Amino acid sequence: MDLAVFTANVRRADARNAALAQRCHEMSGEILKHVGTATVVRDLEYLSRVIQGEDTPINFWGFSYGTIVGSYFVNM
């Protein structure tokens, strides 16, 4: 592939991604600050307490992104 074509494609993709990110921010506003792995872990921990009980250990099995979630569980 020609380097100039590759560079042009990367710039177009970057522009599309920037436009998508801007649109997400416009549509989501303040909600975005509550989106992330730490928030997912806090939600899962809360659900576990409500469903399983306060003193029940969390039994979690994850792979791919779940590996990261599990790591957050351990560290939080």
- Give the pLDDT of residue 34: 84
pTM greater than 0.85 (yes/no) = no
Length of the chain: 76
Q: What is the pLDDT of residues 31-68, one digit of tens each?
A: 888 889 999 999 999 999 999 999 899 888 999 999 99
Residue 1 pLDDT level (bands cut at 50, 70, 90):
low
Average confidence score pLDDT of the chain: 92
Per-residue model confidence (pLDDT) at position 69 = 95
Instruction: Report residue 18: phi and psi, to 5°.
Output: -65, -40
Q: What is the DSSP letter of 34?
A: G
For 25-32, what is the mean pLDDT? 87
